[in-house]
Amino acid sequence: MSAVIPLSGTKKGVISVTKVEEPYGKGSATVASVGISLVGNAEEPEWKVHLPMDNLDAVIEALQALK
């Protein structure tokens, strides 16, 4: 599953969210990848963060608390 979300405050920017299996080579743990592209290129974002799936619930909870 993946999603591309328009980046608020920009003309073409997007936030991309996807699941990446073995991002660091064979046997590495699956991560949720969140990328930001100011030019609308979800495939090659200028910034990205990889969140280990084991941390995802805690990160979602922290983001919900910010709302």
Q: How high is the pLDDT of residue 11?
A: 96
Residue pLDDT, tens place only, 21-58: 999 999 999 999 999 999 999 999 999 999 999 999 99
Domain extent, residue 27, equals 2-66
Split at pLDDT 50, 70, 90, the class of 1 is confident
- Report CA-CA distances (Å) from 31 to 9, 13, 20, 40, 52: 27, 23, 5, 22, 5
Split at pLDDT 50, 70, 90, the class of 13 is very high
Domains of the chain: total? 1
Q: How high is the pLDDT of residue 63?
A: 96
Q: Which ranges in 1-67 belong to alpha helices (H)?
A: 56-66
